Amino acid sequence: MSSALAIAAAARVISRLIDDRVAAEGLTALQGMRTSVVSPEQIDGTDLQAKDDVSPKINIFPYHVGLNAAWRNAFEPARDRAGQPVASPPLAIDVSFLVSAHGTKELISEVLLGLAMQALSDSPQLTRDRLRALLQVAPGPPAPDPLLLAIEQSRLADQFELLRIVPMNLSADDMQKLWTSIHSRYRPSFCYSASALLIDTRNQARDGFPVRDFAATTIQYLRPRIERVEPVGVVFRAAGNQIALIGQQLRQDGIVARFANGARSPLDAGSTDARALIALPADLPAGVIGVELVRALDIGAPPVKDVNESNLGVFLHQPIFKRTGPAPGAPDIVLGAADPGPPPSRPLDIRLLPPPLPGQDVRVLLNEIPESAQRRGYSFPGDIGTDPLNDPVRFNLSGMANGTYLARVRVDGAETPLDTDASGGFNGPTILVN
C-alpha cells in the first residue's frame, strides 16, 4: 500500500514524465523548464489580474479526488456493528489532473502541450521500477529537498495495483466550467486521471483466529416461509404449550424451530409442509416472541450450521399469576403496609409464571371496579428482584384513590389474562386499596 503521500507522489511522477520528454526534445526555448504543481492562477494570475510576461511552463493541478469504484467494493466491511475495526482496507482513490501549458511567446504553449500529451500517452501504465526511478531524488549537491525525499518513500511503487494514467476527454463546456471555477484565464490544457492510488490505513484491526479446518457440502435451497402463527396469543402453561406455524415448505430434513431467546424445538409429529407443530420450550420468557425455522446441517466440521432460514413469525407468550395465594387457587398478590414516605407509597408484590427476567419491561395495570365516573386507572413499573426465579416483582403504588381494582401485569407487551364471570365480564384478579 502507499502512504498518505501517494497523491503528491503521483503528481511528481507525472511532472517527471513531462520534464524528461521536454528535455529530450532539445529545444533552446525550453531549456531549464521544470513542470510545476500549483494552481494555475499562481502562474498567470487571476482572470482579473493577469500577468503579461510568463516564462514557458507546464503545470499540473490535481483538481478532483474521488473514490475508486472497483476497489471500494473489493473488501468486506471494515467495522463490526459495535463500530470496532475488523479489517484494514486501503483508501482507494482516483486523482484527476489538469495539465496546462503556459507562455506568452507565440506557439510556445502549443509546443509544450503537445510534448506533455505525448509523454503521458506513451506511458499509460508504469512499472514498479519505472515508478521508483521517477521518484528518486538526486543526492546533490545542493542538498535535496526534504519534502521530495519523503515523497520518494511514499511506497507508490509497492502498492497492489500499478499506476495508470488515463486521458479524460472533457467536453469544451466542462473544460470551461473547470477553468472558471479556478478563476484563471483559459490556457491550452487537457485532463488526465491517475488510477488507482491505494492509501494504507493507520487503524489497527482485530485479527481473527486462523482457520484450523474446513468442510463443505451441497444441498438444495428451499427457504421455508412463515405466513402466520396460530394462536397469536399463548397463555403460559407449566405442562407446555404448542403453536402451529402456517406457511410453505415448512417440513424439511433436520429443520428445527429457533426462538428469540436461542431455545430450539424440533417439529412435533403431525407436521406438514404447510403446517408445522412446535412445542414451546419450558424456559421461554413472557412477551412478544419471535420464532423462525432453520435447517441444522452437519457439514463434517463443528459446529452444526444453520441454513435455509425462514422469515420471522411472532406471537404473544402471556404470563399468568402464580396461584399460591392465601386461598386455594388464589393469585400470589400481596399488598403491603403504607409507607409514609415522602412520597407516600405502598408495596405490591406479585409472583408470575414464567418469572420475568432481568432487562424485561414489567408494569402493573390497575383499573377500578365497579367503573366510577372518574374511570380511574393506574400503571406502575416493576422492580425485578436479585433472584428472579424466587423473588416476587415489586411495584410501588402511589397517588391511588381507595377502591377495588382489577390487576393485570404486562411483561414486554404480553399481559396476564383476566378472570371472567358467567356473563363474560371481568371479575379478577383484584386488589383492595384502603
Distance CA(234)–CA(366), nearest Å, equals 22
Cell of 234: 399463548
Per-residue pLDDT at 60: 96
pLDDT at 129: 94
Q: Give the number of other Cβ atoms within 10 Å of residue 188's Cβ.
A: 16
Cα angle 407-412-415, degrees, rounded to a multiple of 5: 30
The DSSP string of 248-288 is ES---TTEEEEETTS-EEEBPTT--SSEEEEEPPTTPPSEE
- Residue 8 has a pLDDT of 96
- What single-letter amino acid sits at 182? I
Domain ranges of the chain: 6-199, 225-318, 333-433
Report d(CA 141, CA 128) in Å as an integer: 27
* Contact assessment for residue 297 and residue 305, using Cβ atoms and an 8 Å cutoff: yes
Which residues of the chain fall short of a pLDDT of 50?
A: none
pTM for the whole thing? 0.56
Residue 29, pLDDT score: 87
Q: What is the pLDDT of residue 361?
A: 96
Exposed (0-12), middle (13-18) or buried (19+): which is 78, by Cβ within 10 Å? middle
CATH topology of domain 225-318: Immunoglobulin-like (2.60.40)
Decide whether 225-318 matches 333-433 in CATH topology: yes
In CATH terms, is domain 333-433 a member of 3.40.50? Answer: no
Q: Which DSSP string do the residues of 84-135 spell out, in sequence order? A: -B-----EEEEEEEEEEEE-SSTTHHHHHHHHHHHHHHT-SB--HHHHHHHH
β-partners of residue 294 are 256
Write out pLDDT tens, residues 66-111.
999 888 888 766 677 777 777 778 899 999 999 999 988 899 999 9
pLDDT at 77: 67
Cell (9 digits) for 93: 482513490
User: What's the confidence (pLDDT) of residue 372?
Assistant: 65
